[in-house]
Structure 1
Amino acid sequence: MNRLTYILYFICISLSLSGCKKSLDLKNAGAFDPASVWNDPQLANAYLTNLYATTLPTGWPVNSGGNADELSGNLPEDAVTTNNTLFKSWPYDLIRNINILLTEIEKGSLPAGTKEKMKGQAYFLRAWVYFNVVKLYGGVPILEQPLGVKDDLSAGRNSTKACFDFIEADLNKAINALPDQYIGGDRGRIDKAASLAFLGRVMLYKASPQFHPSNPYNNTDWPKAYEVNKMAKEQLAGMGFGLNPDYVGIWAKNNKGNKEAVMSVLFMAPNRMNGRSENQCRPLSESIDASGGDQPVWEMVAAYPMKDGLQPGISLKYPYELQTFWKDRDPRFYASVVYNGSLYELSRIAGRRQYTANGVASIDDVFGGGEQGDFHRTGFFPRKGMDPTLLKSEVTKNETDWIEIRYAEVLLNFAEAANETGKSNEALEVLIQIRKRAGIEAGADQLYGLSGSTGTAQIRNAIYFERRIEFIYEGQRFNELRRTRRLNEIDGMRKNGLLATLKSDKVAEDGKTFKLLPEDFTYKIQPLFSNGTNLMSTPERYYFFPIPRVEIEKNPKLLQNKGWDGGTFDPTLE
């Protein structure tokens, strides 16, 4: 090893697992002498740390909901092609580096227990990488040995079933090798809890309509999905995992590593910050450099139920009217969405309210972007995961962890599998738990607004709906629509925002005295401005994306997916 490589190793070692800011250049990893790396626990750990840094999510998935009906953004017609980069991934460099650890570590003299734990984490990482490409394409080449740096990937595609089997096998190896939980200084490492939860997610996808278009709900993969998710739910509960007592507190600075956080990417000063990307997601008037991320559209805002769990216009207890749209909503609405006139005490400004109306709000924050012509303003901003105590000059110092897998997801994965295997009562119990924690009223029947959800189809739709509300900004919506084959719900959609206008009998302010309330404005639903089209296009073929054309040109053994460039490969499990 050269001196620079050693320096990079020890930079990583000196930082926490999640705080390593330098990524080791592994292009020559295949030439490493096992005596130099796999006999030394610090060097081996540095190699594994780099795999984390290059494989797992780097933070909150800002604006991913723009591909669906959640946030501002758009997928215009023909947004995806075989030769552009949208929804493309071909991570065989990462797979190679993981395979190096799995094969080379056995040549070293590390203690057997150390080897086992490191391999367990590597098996998880390999499963993670494969699953995320299978979600995109279906079956891809399975490689268990590292190719040389100059070797071409000339393998053909394995079947989608073979890939799922491979992912499941790797996760079971991880489950058997890892401790229940890593805590203290090791928190953030992959453990048995994360592996169990992730296997549940994988099995839910395998059984899903995405992979079973002609038999979406009665196929033979659902019983296995139920078995695995039941095991994950019960074993994690036995380890102490559960729902955080309140929804807001899941992301509180003083509640890191709470019992809902099954798998987290850690952020902490001074080495790793801005996990929530406040500089992108705050209103520009209280940010620096960038703004516009994670702005919910009207369709998302309108979806929130009322306090009794019933939909707006359905609830008799809480009448709904556009001009008072913010009143008496599901408490998760107030925890997640900033609306015109709502209290939003950014930068420690007591009593600060956020305005979006032209003539009142800062020109940077108004609906549609005002005179600046920035067309990303929807009339709403995100609140979930934000840190209002940061000054404008400190917006890159957010330390909110990104929780990739929450216990709430484990529960809802279980509920969906239970419902599809004839156990709708078990699914309903989960929905009640989620809504009770959210703060929705129980009602006389103690069903939290779910009294109409009695049959399998009704429970299914209730689960889909609950996921939409519960996981706003968490990067799930677009893939959920793909997984459940509901892209038709957003195909041809035009997104809207909410235009606020100060009432004629109210005196305009400069937006800094904060006396104007939401009811001092009138509201109008209005299409979002756009430099191009405001028409979403999500055709049937988007359930599976095309293998990048450049990879097929390099490897003629790769077959393209059906629906793309005359492809013949069937990515489903049918």
Structure 2
Amino acid sequence: MKKYIFLLLLAAYCLTACQKDFLNKGPLDKFTDEVIWKDSNLVNLYVANIYSGIITEYDRAGDALTMSYTDEGEANRPYLNSQLVNFGQYNSATGVFSEVWTDNYTSIRKCNTLLEQLQSAPFSPSLQQRMRGEAYFLRALFYMDIYAHFGAFPIIEKALGLNDELAVPRATAKECVNFILKDLETAATLLPAKYSDPAQTGRATQGACYALKCRLLLNELDYPRAAAAAEQVMDLNQYKLFPDFKSMFQPGNDNNVEVIFDKQFGSLQSKQKHDLNDYEYPRNFTGFASGVNDPTQNIVDAFLMKDGKPWNESPYYNPEHPYDNRDPRLYSSVLYDGMLFRGEILDLQKGSAANPAERGTPTGYYLKKFLDTTYDLKNISNPNLNNAVIIRLGEIYLNYAECQLKMGNTEEARTYVNLIRVRAGMPTIAAGEMTWDKYERERTVELAFEGQRRADVRRWNKGPQIIGQPVYGMVITVVNGKRTYTRTKIEDRVFVAPKMYLFPIPIDVLNKYPAGKELKQNPEWD
């Protein structure tokens, strides 16, 4: 009787759920499989639980963000894995990104279970179709994450039980890519371009399928098919560039017109949240050791001056005021010395309240791009609820431009790069002046810190030239009231190509395979 009453209450809640409540994890452990797979509300919670397993940059809060494994950032904690990677002091036993393998396979098993159970679930055809589409999309997303970090993976299409063979070998890279593409293409036939019910906001759509397909094919250097996938996204006419770059990631603009797919936070019942604001705000705002991942001078230098020229070529550059007259996206992405932020002028000289001698910023900068500028840092019970954007139209435009450049269609590429620059408030690139270097810089600053840098560097085969170079910071000194800014090398980094384009499969994963059926390690990581 108690279970029956609870089910009624739960069903009523689901029918009146707010916009983000479909991500509710819910107490599914209270019910048997027989109960769960006959109740659409409980299955909806099961699907929501799969969404909650998506690993985003926000979920890495308190650890090294992806930026700190590239030239974009430096983590100010010596014990974090990014430090081991940047110095080349890691191996299979270090367990770098082990959660990407283990957690994603946990989520993949849930997708497989959902697909199997839906075959006999007594639901309407439309609900069956949507849930199947979501399962295929999410499975593709989880496999894409594994592939981006480790390369080829064991393809598992069913929910393995205790008595099943667990030693599935790695497929070839081609087989893995084709499997992901098949899932995305299948999902696109089952999912809508848009949900009419606002309560479904955040679910997978056709556009999300095409967008991930575009990203995957671009990283595989398949420019014609990647361009075609980008066109599929654009032809849906569901997305536009959000007009204000600086507020695009603020919680008040969650689910804006540029977002193709994101991870939703804020379900009141599941309490799903993240801690990015707590860990990335400057220390003078938090009162504890925060600012874990800090932008480098390398990435700051990538932002052009307002005339479209690099800092070391523009007459607008003033070494006494190095942040004046810059690409407006710098002001939206990086916190720097002298910046007015939340009513305070940041003083980032070493030993200040914002940059203390211990666990301050080693680079002279803090991350700004994703910070909720309305977040109440003094209320410890205040959750971080701004959504994590996984893919947006700005990336699709840049993907399309890269494809066109590689295929020799320079003017077509220029058109889409200029769309990004106009939104940013930067001068357009004139006809006949589009170059690869200009494209690469544009992508670098537009997508800074969004988690795609390492994939970009791998695709361009520039690991030693970009990630393997020294990283720099800005040292601020004050003498007689005059501030001086000095570029200073923070550390030398190691990148041994091609070995370091992929991470070694964790030893704990390898040890689960029985003798004679060992999982093959990535090249040169044995």
TM-score, L = length of structure 2:
0.87
Counterpart position of 2:470:
494
**8 Å CA contact 1:100, 1:146 repeated in 2:** yes
Letter in 2 for 1:338: L
The alpha-carbon deviation at position 501 of structure 1 amounts to: 1.8
Quick one: distance in 1 between partners of 2:495 and 2:371? 31
Which residue of the partner structure matches residue 506 of structure 2? 548
Aligned to 1:356: 348
Counterpart amino acid of residue 107 in structure 1? S
Q: Give the AA of the match of 1:353.
A: I
Q: Which residue of 1 aligns with 2:228?
A: 227
Correspondence for 2:24 among 20, 38, 51? 20
Q: In structure 2, what is the equivalent of residue 569 of structure 1?
A: none
Moved more, 290-299 or 86-95: 86-95
Q: Does 1:560 align with 2:521?
A: yes
**Structure 1 residue 393 and structure 2 residue 354: aligned?**
no
Q: 1:70 to 1:110 in 2, by over 3 A?
A: same
Letter in 1 for 2:390: E
The answer to whether the Cα contact below 8 Å between 2:21 and 2:267 also exists between their aligned partners in 1 is no
Tell me the equivalent position of 1:379: 364
More moved, 10-19 vs 382-391: 10-19
- Residue equivalent to 1:127: 140
1:83 aligned counterpart, secondary structure: helix
Query: Where in structure 2 are the equivalents of 1:513-552 lying within 5 Å?
Result: 520-528=482-490, 534-540=491-497, 541-552=499-510
Q: Secondary structure at the match of 1:122?
A: helix
Instruction: Check the 8 A contact 1:296/1:337 in 2, yes or no.
Output: yes
Matched residue SS, 1:377: coil
3-state SS of 2:94 partner:
coil
* TM-fit CA distance, 1:55: 3.4
| Cα distance change on mapping 1:58 and 1:385 into 2, 3 Å | closer
Aligned to 1:330: 327
In structure 2, distance between residues paired with 1:305 and 1:404: 26
Can you list the C-alpha shifts for 1:359-400, whole angstroms capped at 9, x where unaligned? 6x31xx22xx32xx3264321122223233334313754432
Query: In structure 2, what is the Cα distance between the partners aligned to 1:381 and 1:233?
Result: 34
Q: Distance in 2 between matches of 1:374 and 1:247?
A: 30
Q: Distance in 1 between matches of 2:376 and 2:228?
A: 48
Q: 1:478 maps to which residue?
A: 454
Q: Equivalent residue for 2:71?
A: 69
The 5 Å alignment of 1:85-484 reads 85-88=95-98, 89-90=101-102, 91-182=104-195, 184-207=198-221, 221-235=222-236, 238-239=237-238, 241-268=239-266, 272=271, 275=274, 277-315=276-314, 318-345=315-342, 349=343, 352-358=344-350, 361-362=352-353, 365-366=354-355, 369-370=356-357, 373-374=358-359, 376-394=361-379, 396-442=382-428, 447=429, 452-453=433-434, 458-459=435-436, 461-484=437-460
Q: More deviation in 388-397 or 222-231?
A: 388-397
Contact in 1 for aligned 2:25/2:49 (Cα 8 Å)? no
Cα offset, 1:117, TM superposition: 0.3
CA distance in 2: counterparts of 1:289 and 1:22, whole angstroms: 33
Alignment coverage as a number of residue pairs: 498
Alignment check: 8 A CA contact 1:276 1:385 kept: no
Alpha-carbon separation, structure 2, partners of 1:137 and 1:174: 24
8 A Cα contact 1:269 1:397, kept in partner: no
Distance across 2 between alignment mates of 1:468 and 1:51: 31
**Partners of 2:112 and 2:374 in 1: CA distance:** 44
Q: CA deviation at 1:463?
A: 2.5
Kept in 2, the 8 Å contact 1:412–1:430? The answer is yes
Partner of 1:188: helix, strand, or coil? coil
User: What is the CA-CA distance between 1:424 and the residue it aligns to?
Assistant: 1.8
Q: The residue matched to 1:411 in structure 2 has which SS?
A: helix
Determine the C-alpha separation between the residues in 2 that align with 1:269 and 1:234: 32
How far apart in 2 are the matches of 1:344 and 1:18?
Answer: 35
TM-score, normalised by the number of residues in structure 1: 0.80
Q: Deviations over 1:76-109 (max 9, x none)?
A: 4333312221033144332222111101111121
1:492 to 1:120, Cα distance in 2 relative to 1, 3 A: closer
Change (3 A) 1:154 1:120: same
Which letter does structure 2 place at the counterpart of 1:80? Y
Percent of aligned pairs with the same amino acid: 27
Q: Secondary structure at the match of 1:45?
A: helix
Distance in structure 2 (CA, Å) of the matches to 1:269 and 1:52: 12
Asked if residue 39 in structure 1 is aligned to residue 53 in structure 2, the reply is no
For the 8 Å contact 1:124–1:170, the answer to whether it is kept is yes
Q: 1:531 corresponds to which residue? A: none
SS of 1:522 mapped into structure 2: strand
Aligned-partner residue type, residue 340 of structure 1? D
Q: 1:387 to 1:99 in 2, by over 3 A?
A: closer
- Give the direction of change, closer, same or farther, for the CA distance of 1:376–1:343 in structure 2 (3 Å limit): closer
Preserved CA contact (<8 Å) 2:400 2:413: yes
Partner-residue secondary structure (3-state), 1:202: helix
Residue in structure 2 matched with residue 212 of structure 1 by the alignment? none
> Partners of 1:343 and 1:288 in 2: how far apart?
19
What is the RMSD of the two structures over their aligned residues, measured on CA atoms? 2.8
- Work out the CA distance in 2 between the residues paired with 1:25 and 1:206: 40
**Contact 2:265–2:385 (CA under 8 A) maintained in structure 1:** yes
Going from structure 1 to structure 2, the CA distance change for 1:375 and 1:289 (only over 3 Å counts) comes to closer
Unaligned runs of 5+ in 1: 208-220, 507-519, 529-533, 566-574
How far, CA to CA, are the matches of 1:435 and 1:330 in structure 2? 9
**Matched-pair contact (CA < 8 Å) for 1:275–1:401:** no
1:29-65: per-residue Cα shift (whole Å, max 9, x none)?
9x823xx223211011111111111235373655321
- Cα distance in 1, alignment partners of residues 3 and 288 from structure 2: 37
Flag as ranges the 4+ runs of structure 1 deviating above 4 A.
9-15, 21-26, 269-276
Q: Distance in 1 between matches of 2:503 and 2:350?
A: 41
How many Å separate the matches in 2 of 1:417 and 1:476? Answer: 16
- Checking the alignment, whether the CA contact within 8 Å between 1:278 and 1:287 is kept in structure 2 is no
Q: For the residues of structure 2 that align with 1:430 and 1:390, how far apart are their CA atoms?
A: 34
